[in-house]
Amino acid sequence: QIVPKQGPSSASRPLLSRQTFTFAASVVRRLKQRLAVMVAGTVPSTMATLAAHGWVSMARASSFRDGAPVFAVFLADCRAHMSPPVPDTYIGNCVVPCFVTLSGAELAGQDGHARALVAIREAVEEVKRDPLADRSRWNKLKDIPPGRAVILAGSPSFTSSYALDFGFGRPAWSEVASMNHDGEIFLIAGREVGSVQASVAVAADKMKAFREMFVLYSSLKSCDGCSRL
């Protein structure tokens, strides 16, 4: 679905295409196994696996094959890594943004997925060592050139709306409505155990190429494979 941008600056922004993909549990396992082979000694998490796959797919769909950086941006949970640690009873936010960069050429290469996974893992480890080492990182997002970033939100490890039941049964389908950036990917746990749902927003002229990259091992929701808002 094509979603026009709203607001006074809409004329300078691209039309966005929204689509939601579902990765079955078996597909997630295959992606993780492939990365484990490519990066020896690694047991990739579901989040890191889908983040790397989305980052590479977005870069390739955008035809980034140059030496300029392509960014991946996501939030890391730092509650267990603060000193002293944040207590389990804390209910507020305790996150730090991670900015990961690889060149378009690196992501387009045959080992693009492996490079992406290693870069994501190193960024997380750096934040774990000292979450408050770089407090200026929150200001870095505005310096990223438009269209050169993948913004990753959500997490398959969070309890999703599919786990809720108010007496009418679990939801048949759940959508994320607040996606307003070219290159945004929102991950949640899918309806079936072990599955992952990825909602994606990209410039409309890139969606076809992105879908061809991203659905290599995934399955689209029925209804023409497209979520309808």
Confidence of residue 1 (pLDDT cuts 50, 70, 90): low
b/e per residue, 122-143, with b = 16+ CB within 10 A?
Answer: ebbebbeeebeeeeeeeeeeee
pLDDT in tens, 168-208: 898 998 888 788 889 999 999 999 999 999 999 999 999 99
Residue 214 lies in a domain: yes
CATH of the domain at 58: 3.30.559.10
Residue closest to 195 by CA, chosen among 43, 15, 50, 3? 50
Does residue 26 register a pLDDT over 80? yes
Residue 227 lies in a domain: no
Higher pLDDT among residues 208 and 84, named by residue: 208
pLDDT at 217: 53
Residue 225 lies in a domain: no
| Mean local confidence (pLDDT), 123-140 | 82
Total structural domains within the chain: 1
Q: Domain range spanning residue 44?
A: 16-164+178-219
Confidence of residue 19 (pLDDT cuts 50, 70, 90): very high
Residue 5 lies in a domain: no
pLDDT at 176: 83
Residue closest to 204 by CA, chosen among 62, 69, 63, 104? 62
pLDDT at 12: 62
In 3-state terms the chain splits into helix, strand, coil percentages (rounded to 5) of 35, 20, 45
Does residue 101 register a pLDDT over 70? yes
Residue 188 lies in a domain: yes
Quote the CA–CA distance of 93 and 205 in Å, as a whole number: 36
Answer positive or negative: Cα dihedral of 170, 171, 177, 182.
positive
